[in-house]
């Protein structure tokens, strides 16, 4: 097949995405938003359309330096995410994803059926939102932090 495209993010990470996809990135404050979508699709923030369009949104969120590392940090991020989902009374399930360094997937079923894949790292949290678990896992698994 065609060679994958490489996307270099604002904070110095590298990520691979399919050759037949485009990427569009913008900074909002200190958070980088990157949309990955099949060529010809217009990116949208309407999450109910993500699965049908094959669209994935990545948010790269800077985190304050903490004392937690590795699995402990991933667990702390997971607790925080679950707490905010409970506060918003969303219906969800959580499972761990086998990505080196740790990651977890949240499947929200109400109010909108959507997947969120979190990859917590030392300086940033990568949060993917979309409808296709295997595609999101592939994107997340291709991240390499070049010069963070």
Instruction: Say how far apart CA 113 and CA 103 lie, in whole Å.
Output: 20
Cα 37 → chain centroid: 14
Instruction: Say how far apart CA 119 and CA 105 lie, in whole Å.
Output: 9
Give me the residues paired with residue 97 across strands: 103
pLDDT of residue 133: 96
Instruction: State pLDDT tens for residues 30-68.
Output: 999 999 999 999 999 999 999 999 999 999 999 888 888
Q: What's the whole-model pTM score?
A: 0.94
Residues 6+ apart with CB under 8 A from 146: 8, 12, 13, 14
pLDDT of residue 31: 95
- For the chain, the structural domain boundaries read 5-145
pLDDT of residue 146: 78
Instruction: State pLDDT tens for residues 73-101.
Output: 999 999 999 999 999 999 999 999 999 99
- Other C-beta atoms closer than 10 Å to the C-beta of 130 total 23
Backbone torsions φ then ψ of 61, nearest 5 degrees: -105, 120
- The mean pLDDT of the chain is 93
CATH topology of domain 5-145: Protein Transport Mog1p; Chain A (3.40.1000)
């Amino acid at each position: 097949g065609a060679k994958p495209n490489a996307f270099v993010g604002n904070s110095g990470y590298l990520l691979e995405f399919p050759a037949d996809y485009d990427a569009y990135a913008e900074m909002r404050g200190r958070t980088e938003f990157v949309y990955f979508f099949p060529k010809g699709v217009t990116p949208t923030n309407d999450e109910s359309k993500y699965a049908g369009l094959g669209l994935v949104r990545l948010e790269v969120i800077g985190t304050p330096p903490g004392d937690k590392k590795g699995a402990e940090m991933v667990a702390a991020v997971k607790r925080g995410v679950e707490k905010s989902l409970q506060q918003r009374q969303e219906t969800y399930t959580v499972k761990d994803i086998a990505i080196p360094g740790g990651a977890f997937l949240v499947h929200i079923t109400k109010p909108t059926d959507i997947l969120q894949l979190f990859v917590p790292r030392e300086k940033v949290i990568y949060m993917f939102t979309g409808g296709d678990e295997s595609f999101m896992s592939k994107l997340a698994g291709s991240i390499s932090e070049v010069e963070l």
